[in-house]
């Protein structure tokens, strides 16, 4: 199995090199910022991509052209970026996840089930996340994933109920909205909490990552899985067999 890495010189890229070797797979090469992904895509069975959102559309085209599976962990994608990912998935297997940690994947599954059981009229949903000071997008991809899980559980579209970055005189909280708060500072790898706040009780789901290696090992696990799958758009829950 030949694995390529987009963004091989970054923090995640260096961990991915180690995890690819630990999994017994072959390194097919990697790209640095500004490199053309095409040659690495052509030499790989699957490419793991934790680069920036502005590269996603070009990467989608290169991987679809080479018929190379894609494990995508880039956050901050626009609607056009996500459309490019969906188009690529018609020709290749794409595992697109906000977070490749098995623990976060389980939290997302729980969030959807809890949202279905806790009515929006009685339980306000709020999501709080914290990351290192260098992170460029907010809310984080994982926080958005939590919001989507809650929205799915409640049968609504996140775009219709998302409330992010409250400031000034906002008035009372609108029923049914899903609130987001993003904290940045230090070198926090990633902390996410989902709060269901009722009049008589609060239920909180929290995940804290202490080492980026959990994301790297999960992404390599996803790559090994994706290499045997037909074209389609998959999530980490598919890799773990959570249906």
CATH of the domain at 221: 3.40.50.720
For residues 87 and 115, membership in a common domain is answered with no
Q: Which of 59, 131, 192, 207 is catalytic?
A: 131
Q: Which of 59, 90, 132, 135 is catalytic?
A: 135
Query: Is 131 annotated as catalytic?
Result: yes
For residues 154 and 221, membership in a common domain is answered with no
CATH of the domain at 172: 3.30.360.10
For residues 47 and 71, membership in a common domain is answered with yes
Please list, residue by residue across 17-46, b when 16 or more beta carbons sit within 10 angstroms of its beta carbon and e when fewer do.
bebbeeeebebbbbbeeebebbebbbbbbb
For residues 110 and 155, membership in a common domain is answered with yes
Q: Categorize the per-residue pLDDT at 98 as very low, low, confident or very high, splitting at 50, 70 and 90.
A: confident
How far is CA 216 from each of CA 60, 84, 99, 169, rounded to the nearest angstrom?
21, 24, 10, 42
109 phi and psi angles, rounded to 5 deg: -65, -40
Q: Looking at residue 236, what is its pLDDT?
A: 94
Return d(Cα 242, Cα 110) in angstroms, integer.
Answer: 11
Return d(Cα 141, Cα 91) in angstroms, integer.
Answer: 25
Q: Looking at residue 76, what is its pLDDT?
A: 83
For residues 222 and 168, membership in a common domain is answered with no
Q: Is the pLDDT of residue 185 over 90?
A: yes
Q: Categorize the per-residue pLDDT at 33 as very low, low, confident or very high, splitting at 50, 70 and 90.
A: confident
For residues 166 and 199, membership in a common domain is answered with yes
In terms of DSSP bridges, do strands 178-184 and 124-131 run parallel, antiparallel, or are they unpaired? parallel
Give the domain extent around 83.
2-96+212-239
For residues 134 and 200, membership in a common domain is answered with yes
Q: Which residues pair with 179 in a beta bridge?
A: 126, 163
For residues 126 and 107, membership in a common domain is answered with yes
For residues 109 and 196, membership in a common domain is answered with yes
Query: Is 135 annotated as catalytic?
Result: yes
Return d(Cα 37, Cα 51) in angstroms, integer.
Answer: 11
Closest to 146 (Cα-Cα) out of 196, 185, 89 = 196
Closest to 233 (Cα-Cα) out of 18, 65, 72, 52 = 72
Structural domains in the chain (count): 2
Distance of CA 109 to the CA centre of its chain: 14
DSSP characters for the chain? -EEEEETTTSHHHHHHHHHHHHTTPEEEEEE-TT--SHHHHHH-SEEEE---GGGHHHHHHHHHHHT-EEEE------HHHHHHHHHHTTTSEEEE-S---HHHHHHHHHHHHHHHHS-TTT-EEEEEEEE-TT--SSS-HHHHHHHHHHHHHHTS-HHHHEEE---S---SPPTT-EEEEEEE-TT--EEEEEEEE-SS-EEEEEEEES-THHHHHHHHHHHHHHTTSPSEEE-HHHHTT--
For residues 54 and 112, membership in a common domain is answered with no
- φ/ψ bin of 54: left (φ > 0), alpha (ψ from -120 to 50), beta (otherwise): alpha
Q: Looking at residue 168, what is its pLDDT?
A: 94
How confident is the model over 183-196, as a mean pLDDT? Answer: 96
Q: Looking at residue 82, what is its pLDDT?
A: 95
For residues 162 and 137, membership in a common domain is answered with yes
Q: Is the pLDDT of residue 243 over 80?
A: no
Structure tokens at 82: 């996500």
For residues 148 and 106, membership in a common domain is answered with yes
How confident is the model over 170-178, as a mean pLDDT? Answer: 95
């Amino acid at each position: 199995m030949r694995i390529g890495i987009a963004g091989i010189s970054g923090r995640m890229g260096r961990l991915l090199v180690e995890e690819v070797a630990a999994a017994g797979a072959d390194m097919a090469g990697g790209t640095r910022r500004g490199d053309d992904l095409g040659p690495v895509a052509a030499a790989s069975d699957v490419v793991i991509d934790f680069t920036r959102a502005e590269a996603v559309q070009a990467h989608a085209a290169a991987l679809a052209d080479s018929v190379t599976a894609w494990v995508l962990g880039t956050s901050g994608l626009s609607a056009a970026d996500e459309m490019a990912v969906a188009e690529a998935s018609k020709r290749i297997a794409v595992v697109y996840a906000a977070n490749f940690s098995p623990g976060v994947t389980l939290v997302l599954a729980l969030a959807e089930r809890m949202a279905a059981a806790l009515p929006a009229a009685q339980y306000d949903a709020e999501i709080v996340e914290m990351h290192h000071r260098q992170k460029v997008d907010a809310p984080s991809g994982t926080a958005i994933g939590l919001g989507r899980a809650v929205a799915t559980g409640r049968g609504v579209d996140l775009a219709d109920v998302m409330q992010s970055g409250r400031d000034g005189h906002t008035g009372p909280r609108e029923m049914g909205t899903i609130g987001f708060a993003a904290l940045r500072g230090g070198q926090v790898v990633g902390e996410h909490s989902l709060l269901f706040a009722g009049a008589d009780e609060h239920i909180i789901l929290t995940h804290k990552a202490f080492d980026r290696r959990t994301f790297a090992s999960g992404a390599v696990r996803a790559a090994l899985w994706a290499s045997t799958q037909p074209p389609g758009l998959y999530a980490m829950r598919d890799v773990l067999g959570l249906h």
